[in-house]
Amino acid sequence: MDKFTRIDTFSSSRRSFIQKGIFGISAYSFIGATPEMEENSICDIRRKTITIPHLPDEFKGFTIGMMSDIHSSTFMNKDDMNEYVQMMNGLETDLIVVTGDFVNSQTEEVYPFAEAFSNLKSPNGVYGCLGNHDFFAKDVERVAKEVDGCGVKLLRNDAVKIQMGNSFFNLIGVDDIGRNADPNDYMTRALAFAKNDQPKIMLCHKPYFFEQAKDLGIDLTLSGHTHGGQIVFGVINNMPISLSALFSKYISGLYTIGQSHLYVNNGIGFTGLPIRINCPPELTVITLA
């Protein structure tokens, strides 16, 4: 294997292949190892500290575990998902979010997802939003019901308060915003449930709408969708060179405009070919400051 290439691929005996080193050399060849990244045989764990203006003192140091793009399918079975759930639980974050694409394209794919993710736990709950592949399923309402029922509380153009003592921040979630939809409509409906001056963190599957989120006063947007490029040929000026770059300038990691932030998670699943090149699966730990 080329020493500059990391390839992550699926097989029915995935664990044994991992142990034999099929994951190869990591993407550090392109992006460089940093103290914010931990690598193991299954995925990378990335840690980011994000500053939010006017964050209540009670939430300084509060941690959010982030997962995305599960794509429950033949290529992401229940055993695979159980591994990721155990890893995320082991990170012991204060809150966990899952930013969509629970299934790949079939309604029945939600059942193994629900079985595995029913074990995902954190002290302040587990929340999620629907992605475009969830809407590809013939019965998105069934998908949503099973996801919600397994303990991943879906935010569908609404918001909840995450409370610590007498303080709180608003956690907002929107359904996947389709090609011909108005993102401001989705976000405005969700913000109607958060009419206050406290910090606002939004779950939005696609990262395309960061500018609109910033203009609406959202402090932090958490997204997935891009898979970090999934097949990445290199990085130029922090931009992964991949097909995803044709559709979005927000591909992977942290972006900032003024005092508003966007974090794009690489996800753990696959679309198209069950392969990742220079783009390992990711679990994220975000610390609020």
Q: What is the largest CA-CA distance in the chain?
A: 55
Confidence of residue 247 (pLDDT cuts 50, 70, 90): confident
Residues above pLDDT 90, as percent of the chain: 74
Q: What residue type is assigned to position 92 of the chain? A: E
pLDDT over threshold 80, residue 77: yes
Domain extent listing, the chain: 31-288
pLDDT over threshold 70, residue 260: yes
Nearest-10 crossing angle of helices 140-149, 110-117: 10
105-154 pLDDT tens trace = 999 999 999 999 999 999 999 999 999 999 999 999 999 999 999 999 99
φ, ψ (nearest 5 deg) of residue 111: -70, -50
25-51 pLDDT tens trace = 333 333 344 557 676 668 999 999 999
Q: In terms of CATH, what superfamily is 31-288? A: Metallo-dependent phosphatases (3.60.21.10)
Residue found under tokens 């914010």: 36
**Phi and psi based region of residue 40 (left: phi greater than 0; alpha: psi -120 to 50; beta: remaining):** beta
| Cα–Cα separations (whole angstroms), residue 209 to 2, 117, 185, 203, 278 | 37, 28, 12, 11, 26
Q: In angstroms, how far is CA 195 from the centroid of its own chain? A: 26
**Helices and strands (DSSP H and E) totals, the chain:** 8, 17
The answer to whether 41 and 18 are in contact (CB under 8 A) is: yes
**Predicted local confidence at residue 245, as pLDDT:** 74
pLDDT over threshold 50, residue 91: yes
Catalogue the long-range contacts made by 15-20 (C-beta closer than 8 Å, 24 or more residues apart). 18/42
Q: Mean pLDDT for the chain?
A: 88
The answer to whether 30 and 235 are in contact (CB under 8 A) is: yes
